[in-house]
Amino acid sequence: MRDAPKPFWSPLAAGTALGLALLLTFIVTGHGLGASGFVTRFAAQANDWISPQATASNSYFGPFMAAGSPLLSWITWEVVGVLIGAWLGAKGAGRISVKVERGPRTSSGNRLVYALLGGALVGFGARLARGCTSGLGLSGSATLAVAGFVFLIGFFAAGFAVSMMMRRIWQ
Amino acid sequence: MSIPLYDSGIASGLLSGILFGYALEAAGFGSPRKLTGQFTLRDFSVFKVMFTAVIVCAVGLYVLRTMGWMGPAAVFIPTLFFWAILLGGVFIGAGFAVGGYCPGTSVVGVASGRIDAVVFAIGMVLGTSVFAWVFDPIKDFYLAGQGPTAQTLPQLFGLPEWMILLALIIIAAVGFRLGTILERSRGGPFTAEEVCAPDDEADEFALTSANARG
């Protein structure tokens, strides 16, 4: 019998901690937190491994490669930090759970197909929006940027609409 | 010493990331069921945590500026490109509902053992690559509807900042109340015990709570 995991923090406590972490990031760096910026740099690097010439001449990835070593950036260290911080928290609270997490009516195989498809939509959307839920939704909105709130409107509207169409995946 | 420090070093990245990851994990955001529970109205954690964080940070920045410790344009404020940002938000909302994560939370999912989060991350790299390959034909759309540089809500509405902050606090308070009522009526919110259980037990959990709800 394994030990029961410790409960999650209340949303108010976790949100306050997240807000203070974000404030500290603004104070130290002058900008907020992000995540998709790392994915962009990793994708540029991965494309470069496969086809250096096509990547260098690509109008979106080209500038990243021309600047040299796209992965040597603040956002890479921040994402490494997220891995460490989340792992420490999950480990300390007994919340590490190695599995394919899915709804009770969805097979693991289907869940992974949905994960890949959803990931692709999110990857494309984050480049279109110039940021993701962290960079625009959270950090942008914390500066009261109009861009952050326009992003959140699109995010929540589509989330509810698609979730209603595909309710069976999770329930 | 002036604020911000504009430090983009390794230590600053690691520190911000560790705090960010720790807070997201503590909120339960390594679990795709807890995250997507927002859109089935069973778990309002995404709304509650996000709004709380936005308000705490926005009030903090407001105090720093009001006390004169930080200049008015000292931090990065994104500029609106209406159509691309709205549609980008739509894609991310749709992908989140289908795939179970957003970019930041997928990293938390990977760190807490979720195999589906690894696959989601591979999907993000593919989606990002597709965007780069089609960037030239969609460039006009990408740049359409540009707003004033770094425009904020107080500037858009012509209202003082404290009034906007107060409005956000009121919206958050109403959302908290409404959310708690809705999630209770749907057998939520998801607990750590429920989302961290191995697969067979997780199915049992779901069935038991479905029966409990009638």
Please give the pLDDT value at position A1.
Answer: 46
For the stretch A46-70, pLDDT in tens is: 999 999 999 999 999 999 999 999 9
Please give the pLDDT value at position A58.
Answer: 97
Please give the pLDDT value at position B70.
Answer: 94
Please give the pLDDT value at position A171.
Answer: 80
Answer with the residue of higher pLDDT: B84 or B2: B84
> Does residue B199 surpass a pLDDT of 80?
no
Give which of A38, A47, A122, A168 to mutate to test B binding, by max B Cβ within 10 Å: A122
Please give the pLDDT value at position B202.
Answer: 62
**How many contacts (CB atoms, under 8 Å) link A and B?**
556
pTM of the model: 0.95
With CB atoms and an 8 Å threshold, state whether A129 touches B77.
no
Question: Which of A97, A100, A143 has the CB atom closest to B196's CB atom?
Answer: A97
Question: Which of A17, A26, A167 has the CB atom closest to B26's CB atom?
Answer: A17
> Does residue B204 surpass a pLDDT of 80?
no
- Search chain A and give the residue with CA nearest B143: A128
Q: CB-based contacts of B67: which residues, under 8 Å, 6+ apart?
A: none
Q: CB–CB of B96/B36 below 8 Å? A: yes
B chain contacts of residue A62, beta-carbon cutoff 8 Å: none
Give which of A141, A146, A151, A164 to mutate to test B binding, by max B Cβ within 10 Å: A146
Confidence at B214, pLDDT banded by 50, 70, 90: very low
How far off is chain A from B212, nearest CA to CA, in Å? 15
- Determine the average pLDDT of the residues in B62-87: 95
With CB atoms and an 8 Å threshold, state whether B53 touches A18.
yes
- Determine the average pLDDT of the residues in B148-152: 97
What length does chain B have? 214
Count of Cβ atoms closer than 10 Å to residue B165 Cβ: 17
With CB atoms and an 8 Å threshold, state whether B56 touches A20.
yes
- Determine the average pLDDT of the residues in B167-180: 97
Please give the pLDDT value at position B206.
Answer: 63
Question: Which of A38, A95, A101 has the CB atom closest to B192's CB atom?
Answer: A95
Please provide the DSSP assignment of chain B as one string. Answer: --B-----SHHHHHHHHHHHHHHHHHHTTT-HHHHHTTTTTS--HHHHHHHHHHHHHHHHHHHHHHTTSB-TT-S--PPPBHHHHHHHHHHHHHHHHHHS--HHHHHHHHHTTBHHHHHHHHHHHHHHHHHHHTHHHHHHHHTSSB-STT-BHHHHHT--HHHHHHHHHHHHHHHHHHHHHHHHHTT-SPPHHHHTS-HHHHHHHHHHHHHHT-
Give which of A48, A79, A82 to mutate to test B binding, by max B Cβ within 10 Å: A82
- Search chain B and give the residue with CA nearest A79: B17
With CB atoms and an 8 Å threshold, state whether B17 touches A119.
no
With CB atoms and an 8 Å threshold, state whether A43 touches B128.
yes
For the stretch A80-103, pLDDT in tens is: 999 999 999 999 999 999 999 999
B chain contacts of residue A4, beta-carbon cutoff 8 Å: 193
The per-residue pLDDT of chain B, averaged, comes to 94
A chain contacts of residue B8, beta-carbon cutoff 8 Å: 29, 74
- Determine the average pLDDT of the residues in B104-120: 98
